Amino acid sequence: MHWIKREVRNLQEQYHTSDPFELADYLEYILVPFPFRKIRGMLLVFEGTTFIGYNNTLPYREQKLVIYHEIAHRRLHPSLNYFMVLDNLRSICIGKYERQVDRFVAELLLSEKKPEPGESIYEFARRYDVPVKLVETLAPYWIANSE
């Protein structure tokens, strides 16, 4: 998944930010805050315009994660025109796409950060205030590159 890391680096170098609201603005994606009941976020491409709907009743940190997630789908899977992240469900599209998106978001949030010697992935996730599942996507690469 080195191509995902390259995609993240290109995005960061081009726009000099990792903030999801700024990235969406630079990418000309229209953010639509809405108090969805069961949907955390959604991506829709209509007539060439990208819309990202996100549940604005979520805590701000989670709103950012949802926007990161949808930006990742749009960047990594441009031929697909919609995704939804539902409460208690990962997404209507699971498996390979979701693993790729999680890796993209992890790369965007954690860049070159690595755990301290002896630090667990749980402690590392807590230190950077990110979900453990994102850290887990990077752990195999840390191990492979430490040998």
- Which residues lie closer than 8 Å to 43 by C-beta, 6 or more apart? 50, 51, 52, 53, 70, 73, 74, 82, 83, 84
pLDDT single digits (tens) 27-61: 999 999 999 998 899 999 889 899 999 999 999 99
Average pLDDT, the chain: 87
First to last CA, the chain: 18
Taking phi first (over 0 means left), then psi (-120 to 50 degrees means alpha), and beta for anything else, what does residue 17 get? Answer: beta
Average pLDDT over residues 12-32: 96
Nearest to 34 by CA among 20, 58, 54: 54
Pair 56, 63: CB distance under 8 Å: yes
Give the per-residue pLDDT at 36: 92
Predicted confidence band at 83 (pLDDT cuts at 50, 70, 90)?
low
- Write down the pTM of the prediction: 0.84
Query: pLDDT grade, residue 144 (50/70/90)?
Result: low
Return the percentage of the chain with pLDDT > 70, whole number.
86
Is the Cβ–Cβ distance between 33 and 54 less than 8 Å? yes
Residue 58, pLDDT score: 96
139: confidence class by pLDDT, cuts 50, 70, 90: confident
Both tokens of 71, joined, read 């930006």
- Per-residue pLDDT tens over the stretch 92-124: 446 788 889 999 999 999 988 989 999 999 999
Distance CA 85, CA 87 (A): 7
